[in-house]
Chains A and B, each alone.
Chain A
Amino acid sequence: MKNTGLWIRTAIIIVITLIGIYLVFGPRTRPTSADFTWSGIKKNLSNNINLGLDLRGGSHLVMRVKTEGYLKNLTDLNQQAAVTAANDAKLPVTGTDVAEPDKYEITLTVADPAQVDAVVAEVKGKVDFTLWTETKSGNTVNWSLPAQQQAVLKEQAVEQALKIIDSRINAYGVKEPTLARHGRPANGQILLQMPGVDDPERVKKLIGSESKLSLMKISGESFQAYPTKEAAEQSLGGSVPSNKRVMAYSEKDDSATAATPAPEKPKQWVVVDYPAIIEGSELRDASAYSRTGNNNDYQITFNLKPAGAAKFGDWTGKNIGKYLAIVLNDEVKSAPVIKGQIFDTGQIEGKFTKNSAEDLALTLKSGALPAELEYQEERTVGPSLGADSIEAGVEASLGGLIFVIAFMLFYYRGAGINAVIALVLNMLLTIAALIMIKSTLTLPGIAGLILGIGMAVDSNVLIFERMREELRAGKDVPSAIKLGFDRAFITIIDTHITTILSSLILYLYGSGPIRGFAVTLILGLLINLFSAVFVSRTIFTWQLERKPNMKTLSI
């Protein structure tokens, strides 16, 4: 009876150990003979363990979507749209808006108080005010955005930004990126991790670039450029009316790159009609191409969606001989004369480099971000630095482990072998468990591993010291072993549960690196209950089985 129990225990241990060895060292594809060589094992090991960015190198970015900017912009646009809608219907109104964090309001003042209801009806037909709270008093109409709806809109903005960033980094070809919400949802933070990317500047530019294309009309019949902004404003009589805009005109201005920063100020300014004929949302596709194939001679061609194409065709047909402004990010990139009706294709001329043209085409295609992003945290680890950290950490840990093993064998003799088996098994299974739950191993994770091993050593020491005490008190070997395990088990359980509980809290409330620490520690402790108690006890029981009348115990 006792014997079968022992066999079952042994079988459990062997099976679990084999599973652990497979998880840590085994290949994930069909095994070949190469998998059993030293280098093959090493390769599988590094493939299996999912190293964190701090160990393998890469970029870690935390950004925040400026949701208040999104709401502010929405308020401004709605206000303008409302005023335009009313004025177009020959209902004279003036509009003001308030856009502060937590307070977004639009107020229309109607010239003729009798027309208030007509204005409201007209405006609501054109502008979406469903989420807004409407109040009418005298000759004014007020729409304000309640806090709850602000949260809804902010949430939408963050989710939309997440999608756009996702499409941009995927198109860029970042391998195995991690893109997720970060921190509390209300913070609007996004975490992006890119293994292997140690200079994230280009990715950052790509993600954050505003890249908003619009097609506008150059005011007047002919093309007129001014040397300064003031001169352009002067031509409009000193102030800019609401249906005009003054914009910088930088023809064939090469884009800035990291190597050649900040181009000089735009040389000229032009006046354009507002609002735009076509906005970036009407864009169907954009691509970079070069006629000559030179790296610095790239242009961007774009196609419009059917509705936009129809609108654009209609407009160009009516305005032959006038000048079109191709506006990118509030800057006029080119101003071609309209020679005939154009429907759905156009191009942005300029001496773009290949990279910048491709990035630009990509951002134009993926659509504009709902709001600007701000970077709150950026960490990059070069692959060599990560490798150095691993080396130092692993070497020091292994040195420590070897020393501990030597000491245990010296101090506890025969029983020391039990401890060594338990320790090695603990390490193996903890790493196997990390692989199994697909957790990443980071530097703090290694710290957790070290603490786990420390507690594993402690468990063994507790058990062995207890056995020595019992032997000293005159117990025979079998009951000393039994009492040693039974009594020490109470202590071990208490210490382990305490640490597991506090680690759980760390996992739940901590941030990235602290979580990594908590995960490895919890796994290490759970496994230790198996390796230091169950496995070690089974080995002692085997010893007793072989020599039931054992008089002395090597401990």
Chain B
Amino acid sequence: MFEFFKSINVDWMGMRRPLTMVSIAILLAGLGSAVGRQLMPGGTDSFNLGVDFQGGTVITAKFRQKPPEDDIRAALQAQGVADAVIQSSLDKPDEVLIKVPLFESGEAAAAPANTGNTNQSSNSQPAAQSNSNTNANTSGQPGATTAQSVDESQVNKGREIVKKSLDTFGKEAEGTNTLVDDESAAYKIVGTDSVGPVAGAQLRNQAITATLLGLAVILFFIAFRYDWTYAAGAVIAVFHDVLVTLAFFSIFQWEISLTVMAALLTLVGFSVNDSIVIFDRIRENLGLHRGESLYNLTNDSINQTMSRTIVTNGLVLLAVAALVLFGGEVLRGFSLALFVGSITGTYSTIAIASPIAIWWQEKLGAAKVKEPQVAKSEKIASASRRSVTRRPVTR
């Protein structure tokens, strides 16, 4: 039998104070970064939110002969886009990500004429302006009077403006043509993400609501299966993990997109999973060693499951490391979030979830500590009873 840990005996709970300090330090650094960036005049935002959450346009363009980034930036500036972000793809040298921020409503009106309707484009712009200050009674067609909203101009114009800028480097392979089909073309837009501010806010709110509700459900389920103190410990640990990950995203200004949201949800899953494995062992040990203090029981439980913790989380971490290194540009944010999250998820179970659970229980007084709940199902109940009576102490 090959094993990493045969029997370890570490006083984890004795280290809770220094460990908590580490967490607090990271969280403070994240908070400092978020607040500092916000307050600094002309500084960046707290978080580098992707277009998914704040609106904007990202164009992925594939070039036959990639022009220097500065030239692309200059071409965009000529079209009135001052603060575009140009990002070369690391793994695909001929592709460029161009991120155009949200237009202000004023800017949108001043921006070059839109494509509009086939036959209406020539007068749509003046019509929209003149109608807005004429009496409603003289209005013509449905909607023709409504001023163009920011959403619409963003979504319609983002791609168009980038295309216009890029056209200075040669023409695009349009429609279904690829660069191979159309030999005279210089580039092709292979991907667009254009999100208006309303849709962005909607996506953001939806993601936050869903995550918080999900956490609430976890809280109730753990409280039902274990105890409120454990539930609180697990959920606080999850919050800790998400916050630490976000702290890294703020400090290093990694972009937060919808896929990063998926990664945060994944790490919530892993973190809770980890907490439950240890809680389950504490619950079992509570039945086995009635006289033992909770402090020692928690230490024992962590030590007993350490082998599993190392194997599982080590495997996950290595798999995620593969994603970070080889997963490509599209998955970069996702992989980074998972990488940070899988480390803190393991750590928080030991340093946050368990200490909170036992601290709270000790507060309640040893006498009030709940008996381990015997599971409802007959099969599970008999299994745990047997291990209570027959299983020798494994320490």
Contact = CB atoms under 8 A, between A and B. Distances in A.
A472 B394 contact: yes
A62 B203 CA distance: 12
A264 to B, nearest CB: 7
A277 to B, nearest CB: 16
Interface in A496-524: 497-499, 501-506, 508-511, 513-514, 517, 521
Given A393-B331, A486-B383, A263 B175 contact: no
A97 B262 CA distance: 49
Interface string A167-203: 0000000000000000100000000000000110100
B137 A79 contact: yes
Interface in A441-478: 443-444, 447-448, 450-451, 454-455, 457-458, 461-462, 465, 468-470, 472-474
Interface string B243-280: 00000000000000011011101101110110011001
* B interface residue count range (under 10 / 10 to 19 / 20 to 34 / 35 or more): 35 or more
Given A360-B119, A400-B319, A377 B199 contact: yes
* A interface residue count range (under 10 / 10 to 19 / 20 to 34 / 35 or more): 35 or more
Contact of A447 (B273, B316, B334, B392): B334
Contacts of A97: 136-137
A330 B214 contact: no
A447 B259 contact: yes
B139 interface: yes
Given A70-B143, A331-B120, A454 B270 contact: yes
Interface in B115-134: 115-123, 127
B139 A393 contact: no
Interface in A81-95: 95
SS of B interface (majority)? helix
Interface in B344-387: 375, 379-380, 383-384, 386-387
A555 B137 CA distance: 84
Interface stretch (A21-29, A131-139, A303-311, A487-495): A487-495
Given A210-B141, A264-B122, A265-B122, 13 more contacts: A64-B151, A210-B120, A211-B117, A265-B123, A266-B123, A330-B123, A372-B142, A396-B322, A447-B334, A473-B392, A494-B280, A502-B268, A511-B206
B83 interface: no
A377 B155 contact: yes
Interface stretch (B21-29, B35-43, B305-313): B305-313
B116 A256 contact: yes
A513 B262 contact: yes
Interface stretch (B64-72, B74-82, B100-108, B218-226): B218-226
Contact of B273 (A199, A472, A495, A504): A495
B137 A96 contact: yes
A199 B174 contact: yes
Nearest to A398: B322
B191 interface: yes
A250 B118 CA distance: 13
B18 interface: no
Nearest to A199: B175
Contacts, number: 356
Interface of A: 62, 64, 66, 68-70, 72-73, 75-76, 79-80, 95-97, 99, 183, 198-199, 201, 204-205, 208-212, 240, 242, 245, 248, 250, 253, 255-259, 261-266, 328-331, 333, 356, 359-360, 368-372, 374-382, 384-385, 388-389, 392-393, 395-397, 399-401, 403-404, 407, 410-411, 413, 443-444, 447-448, 450-451, 454-455, 457-458, 461-462, 465, 468-470, 472-474, 483, 486-487, 489-491, 493-495, 497-499, 501-506, 508-511, 513-514, 517, 521, 555
A64 B198 CA distance: 10
Contacts of A266: 122-123
Nearest to B155: A375
A356 B118 contact: yes
Contact of B384 (A242, A396, A469, A487): A487
A64 B211 CA distance: 26
A403 B141 contact: no
A262 B122 contact: yes
Contacts of A499: 269, 272-273
